[in-house]
């Protein structure tokens, strides 16, 4: 940064501290973040739409006949851009944000955060079966991180602004400010207090105003609830809840299963070709898998399932409703496969909207089956389409409140509130009991890097093990005599523990001052007793590369000792004391909850 820029920034910060309180400044920043998140969402949408218009134009009139080529081209462009231009791998937006919150104090690398602005439109525009909401949230959050760096904000405020970016992106895309707010709380584990509520609201409102300014009254989904809640339909809502729960479990397991399958291929170009061709084949038989699939949802809401399915090899048989049901069931099954194949092949995108697409198809299938079984019941296919979307969001993302408020705001009414609560609660409970962590959080949870609404666990996750390690212990060797131990270690240290290491600095034992207190002044033993006779082996150690603070706390509890040695790269590195750990815990707790 140049000297003039540093001077300007210094004057700006100085003016801010003098004239704007911290609370008001956070509100101002939340408005800016909401506006930026709205712009990012619109930018992603328009770039993607432009690509799709070009591909569907007369310039490339063969597009509908060569579905299997288009995704490969898109993924190849992404591959070339990441390998030869930015030289950075594509990372999933939400897990990247969650990791930055838990381990990077809310700091997100610019390349990782802004890369989806280019790669996601290419992926989706060329037929990748993923969404744009995740990249929008990722880019907006990166901008929030940059603002935090610019104004030297503390960690808690960084977290809040990242939540504002997420709320703003959802608010702008769906024109649903409450759903955006709830999403930030549910997925990013923000505390919903008055301090955090106002910035989230301001960001949501700012983003939705931005959306209205550029798009007017245009919305993703236009739907008015015509059929209200009927108590006699409750069993069918329960059935749909169970169905969406099963589909959510399938969605999650298929996601990780396919990614694991692609891990077998060491070369990215092989993953690209296999994934791209697989997507192309699926697109040929099930055209709605192309891109995000928002048009598919809108057609289902209008009751036009033929337009929703598009041209398929089975057009001659679509006069039979059970063929339609079969095709929609196929989309429900293959949406998760197409989405994951896109990611595995190197594409960039999100999972939120694919989840909605799969849920809408499932809800529509359930309603069609009920209406055509001849059991004397008729349910609203449009309502069940919406309920299916909500059920999948609740089950896959473990975000039931987000799904309820999102559908309520899409329909601009609360007529479906009771059915929404029934379906989403059942889906969430079953899927949560079957799979503890969702797609966003599973890998982070396994690594011990996941923030939750449990303050104790969150503080442990936020703590840095490095800050708890003390290295001012004087080591000694096993062949040293008592005199050498006293002169070379005890006399030069203010600690009462002395690690015993070999020639390669491997820890082989520990000598405590208490172990030698009775003999340390007996000069007759100075040359007779060696450290090897005095040391005790330790069965519990801390592995620097493997253990996190939560695991260290458990080791202290299980061992009952006050100090534990730290091993780094197989060698002795230092000690962590219980007092140091608890002091660091309290400091972090005060910082986090202030």
The tokens describing 334, both together, are 């293959």
- Of 422, 447, 472, at which residue does a domain stop? 447
512 domain-assigned: yes
Alpha-helix residue ranges (DSSP H) falling in 302-399: 305-309, 321-344, 352-372, 381-396
Per-residue model confidence (pLDDT) at position 406: 92
Q: Could you tell me whether strands 476-477 and 571-577 are parallel, antiparallel, or unpaired per DSSP bridges?
A: unpaired
Residue 385 resides in a domain: yes
Cβ burial, residue 541 (10 Å; 0-12/13-18/19+): middle
585 falls within a domain = yes
Query: Which residues are CB-neighbours of 153 under 8 A, at least 6 positions away?
Result: 147, 161
Calpha distance 446→449 (Å, rounded): 8
Residues 356, 440 within the same domain: yes
Domain residues for the domain of 400 are 231-447
Contact partners, residue 543, CB within 8 Å, separation at least 6: 567
Q: Would 221 be classed as within a structural domain?
A: no
Separation of alpha carbons 355 and 394, rounded Å: 10
Q: Which pair of structure tokens corresponds to residue 461?
A: 């996750």
Q: Is residue 245 part of a domain?
A: yes
- Per the structure, the count of domains in the chain is 3
User: Which pLDDT score is estimated for 466?
Assistant: 86
Q: Are 258 and 250 in contact (CB under 8 A)?
A: no
Q: Last residue of some domain: 163, 190, 215? A: 215
Q: Partners of 500 in the beta sheet?
A: 476, 509
Kindly state whether residue 222 falls inside one of the protein's structural domains.
Answer: no
C-alpha angle 295-297-302 in degrees, rounded to nearest 5: 95
What is the reported pLDDT for 205?
93
> What was the pLDDT predicted at 60?
45
**Ramachandran sector of residue 414 (left: φ over 0; alpha: ψ -120 to 50; beta: rest):** alpha
The pLDDT tens digits along the chain (594 residues) read 566 666 777 777 777 778 888 888 999 999 999 999 999 999 999 999 888 888 776 444 454 556 678 888 899 999 999 888 888 777 888 888 888 888 888 888 888 888 888 999 999 998 889 999 999 999 999 999 999 888 888 888 888 999 999 999 999 988 888 999 999 888 887 766 767 789 999 999 999 999 888 877 666 666 666 677 778 889 999 999 999 999 999 999 999 999 999 999 888 899 999 998 899 888 888 888 988 888 899 889 888 888 888 877 777 777 889 999 999 999 999 999 999 999 999 999 999 999 999 999 999 999 999 999 988 888 989 899 999 999 999 999 999 999 999 998 888 777 888 999 999 999 999 999 999 888 888 877 777 666 666 667 777 777 888 889 999 899 999 899 989 988 988 888 888 899 999 988 899 999 998 888 888 888 888 888 898 888 988 888 999 988 888 889 889 888 888 899 999 999 999 999 988 888 888 887 777 665
Whether residues 436 and 471 fall in one domain: no
CB burial string 481-492: b at 16+ within 10 A, e below = bbebbbebbbee
Q: Is residue 377 located within the same domain as residue 291?
A: yes
The answer to whether residues 592 and 459 touch, using CB atoms and an 8 Å cutoff, is yes
Asked whether the whole model's pTM tops 0.85, one would answer: no
Longest dimension (CA), the chain: 104
Inter-residue contact 404 to 415 (CB < 8 Å): no
Same domain, 421 and 536: no
Q: Dig out the tokens for 540 from the structure.
A: 């519990």
**Cβ neighbours, 10 Å, residue 365:** 25
Is 415:229 a contact under the CB 8 Å cutoff?
yes
Q: Last residue of a domain, which of 185, 215, 245? A: 215
Same domain, yes or no: 475 and 501: yes
User: Which CATH number belongs to the domain containing residue 486 in this structure?
Assistant: 3.10.580.10
pLDDT of residue 59: 44
> Are residues 105 and 127 located together in one domain of the fold?
yes
Residue 542: Cβ-neighbour burial (10 angstroms; 0-12, 13-18, 19+):
buried
Q: Could you tell me if 120 and 83 lie in one domain? A: yes
Check whether residue 323 and residue 365 sit in a common domain: yes
Q: Judge if 426 and 505 occupy the same domain.
A: no
**CA distances from residue 15 to 9, 18, 25, 39, 71 in whole angstroms, order as listed:** 10, 5, 12, 28, 52
Beta carbons of 177 and 140 less than 8 angstroms apart: no
Are 491 and 412 contained in the same domain?
no
- Asked whether residue 235 falls in the same domain as residue 134, the answer is no
* Residue 519: exposure state from Cβ atoms within 10 A (0-12, 13-18, ≥19): middle
Closest to 226 in 3D by CA, of 332, 390, 385, 388 = 385
Rounded Cα distance between 448 and 287, Å, is 40
Answer whether residue 454 is part of any domain. no
Q: Which of 359, 223, 412 is nearest to 303 (CA)?
A: 223
Q: Which domain CATH number covers 294?
A: 1.10.3080.10
Same domain, 400 and 472: no
Residue 113 lies in a domain: yes
């Amino acid at each position: 940064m140049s000297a003039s820029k540093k001077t300007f920034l210094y004057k700006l910060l100085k003016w801010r501290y003098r004239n704007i309180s911290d609370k008001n400044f956070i509100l101002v920043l939340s408005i800016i973040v909401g506006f930026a998140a709205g712009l990012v969402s619109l930018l992603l949408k328009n770039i993607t739409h432009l690509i799709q218009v070009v591909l569907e134009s007369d310039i490339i009139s063969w597009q509908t006949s060569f579905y299997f080529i288009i995704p490969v081209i898109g993924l190849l462009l992404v591959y070339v851009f990441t390998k030869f231009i930015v030289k950075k791998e594509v990372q999933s937006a939400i897990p990247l944000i969650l990791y930055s919150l838990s381990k990077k104090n809310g700091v997100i690398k610019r390349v990782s955060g802004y890369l989806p602005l280019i790669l996601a439109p290419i992926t989706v525009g060329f037929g990748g079966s993923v969404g744009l909401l995740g990249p929008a949230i990722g880019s907006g959050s990166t901008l929030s991180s940059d603002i935090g760096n610019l104004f030297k904000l503390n960690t808690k405020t960084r977290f809040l602004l990242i939540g504002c970016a997420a709320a703003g992106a959802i608010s702008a895309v769906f024109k649903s400010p409450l759903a955006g707010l709830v999403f930030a709380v549910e997925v990013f584990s923000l505390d919903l207090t008055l301090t955090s509520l106002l910035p989230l609201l301001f960001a949501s409102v700012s983003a939705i105003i931005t959306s209205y300014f550029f798009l007017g009254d245009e919305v993703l989904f236009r739907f008015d609830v015509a059929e209200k809640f009927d108590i006699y339909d409750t069993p069918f809502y329960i059935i749909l809840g169970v169905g969406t729960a099963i589909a959510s479990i399938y969605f999650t397991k298929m996601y990780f299963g396919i990614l694991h399958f692609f891990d077998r291929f060491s070369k990215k170009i092989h993953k690209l070709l296999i994934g791209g061709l697989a997507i192309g084949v699926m697109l040929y038989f099930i055209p709605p898998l192309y891109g995000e699939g928002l048009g598919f949802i809108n057609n289902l809401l209008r009751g036009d399932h033929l337009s929703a399915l598009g041209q398929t090899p089975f057009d001659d048989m679509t006069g039979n409703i059970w063929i339609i049901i079969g095709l929609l069931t196929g989309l429900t099954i293959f949406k998760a496969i197409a989405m994951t194949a896109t990611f595995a092949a190197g594409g960039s995108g999100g999972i939120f909207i694919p989840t909605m697409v799969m849920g809408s198809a499932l809800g529509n299938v359930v309603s069609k089956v009920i209406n055509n079984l001849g059991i004397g019941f008729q349910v609203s296919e449009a309502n069940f389409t919406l309920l299916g979307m909500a059920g999948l969001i609740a089950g896959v993302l473990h975000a039931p409140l987000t799904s309820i408020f999102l559908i309520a705001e899409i329909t601009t009414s609360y007529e479906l509130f009771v059915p929404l609560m029934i379906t989403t609660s059942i889906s969430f409970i079953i899927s949560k009991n079957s799979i503890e962590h969702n797609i966003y959080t599973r890998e982070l949870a396994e690594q011990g890097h996941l923030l939750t609404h449990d303050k104790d666990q969150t503080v442990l996750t936020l703590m840095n093990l490095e800050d708890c390690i003390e290295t001012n212990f004087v080591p000694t060797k096993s062949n040293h005599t008592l005199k050498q131990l006293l002169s070379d270690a005890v006399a030069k240290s203010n600690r009462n523990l002395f690690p015993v290491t070999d020639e390669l600095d491997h820890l082989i034992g520990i000598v405590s001052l208490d172990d030698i207190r009775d003999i340390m002044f007996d000069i007759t033993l100075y040359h007779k007793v060696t450290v090897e006779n005095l040391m005790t082996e330790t069965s519990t150690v801390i592995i620097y590369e493997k253990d996190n603070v939560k695991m260290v706390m458990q080791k202290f509890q299980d061992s009952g000792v006050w100090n534990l040695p730290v091993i780094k790269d197989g060698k002795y590195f230092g000690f962590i004391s219980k007092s140091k750990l608890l002091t660091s815990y309290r400091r972090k707790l005060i910082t986090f909850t202030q």
